[in-house]
Chain A
Amino acid sequence: MRKLVVLLFPLLLFISGCPSSEKSMLTIAKDAAQTNLSFERGVTTVHKDTPEYCDDGCERTLLESSRKIAQLDDAAVNAIVKTHDATGAIAKINEAIAAVDDANTNGLLAIKNENKKNALSAILLALRGSLVTAKAFLSPQVKVAP
């Protein structure tokens, strides 16, 4: 029986496919897209329900940040799935992280309610975590400058 297992286990590994860091990165990038969608809807809801806390300028600033993050996340996904370009994907993810940080430190200042600001900040922090994780999956393939 033990010999059977020794013989068949490599075959199982072969037919099951090796774990892919790219697939993991894509899964996390999909989660990031979902979280960004939640952020965008959160901003729209705050603006619609309580315009005194987030005026037109506030909504415009935050939605433009969200659109930039969506475009960069999309570019990172395409760099991986179309050309397996880990370096290009990491560059896009870094830009997305910078956009998240800018939205969190500057963009959210426009919201004049601490609870709503904190709620949106929590979504942005979750989004940042996803992006950092997605980058980490690609890092073994590319040397990332500290």
Chain B
Amino acid sequence: MTAAELIALIKLMEDLAPPAVDLVRGLLQKLQGATPEQIAAMANALNATAIAEIDDELGKLPPK
């Protein structure tokens, strides 16, 4: 089923059960969103950036 068909179905449902329409819209957003692997990769990248910046900054400090 394509996204266009899903949207057409949502429009058909609108007269029947508004809460269900909201639920399906939420599910559609999840369907279009990032995968868990993509989200994990973004988190890994942010943490790696923080660690790299910290190591760089600590490297500039005089030894204890």
Q: Which residues of A contact B (CB under 8 A)?
A: 1-2, 4-5, 8-9, 11-13, 15-17, 19-20, 22-23, 26-27, 29-30, 32-34, 36-37, 40-41, 44, 56-57, 59-60, 63-64, 66-67, 70-71, 73-74, 77-78, 80-81
Out of A15, A40, A59, which one reaches B53, CB within 8 Å?
A40
Q: Are A17 and B31 in contact (CB under 8 A)?
A: yes
Interface flags, B21-64, vs A, CB<8A=1, else 0? 00010011011000011011011101111110111011001101
Q: Which residues of A contact B28 (CB under 8 A)?
A: 16
State A20–B62 Cα separation when bound (angstroms): 47
Q: Which residues of A contact B13 (CB under 8 A)?
A: 5
Given contacts A70-B47, A74-B43, whether A16 and B30 have CB atoms under 8 Å apart is yes
Q: Are B6 and A30 in contact (CB under 8 A)?
A: no
Q: Which residues of B contact A26 (CB under 8 A)?
A: 36, 39-40, 43
Q: Which residues of A contact B58 (CB under 8 A)?
A: 60, 63-64
Give, as a whole number of angstroms, the nearest-CB distance from B33 to chain A: 8
Instruction: Enumerate the 7 nearest inter-chain pairs by beta-carbon distance, A residue then B residue, closest first.
Output: A33-B46, A16-B27, A81-B40, A30-B43, A74-B47, A70-B47, A26-B39
Q: Which residues of A contact B47 (CB under 8 A)?
A: 33, 36, 70-71, 73-74, 77
Q: Which residue of B lies closest to A30 (CB)?
A: B43
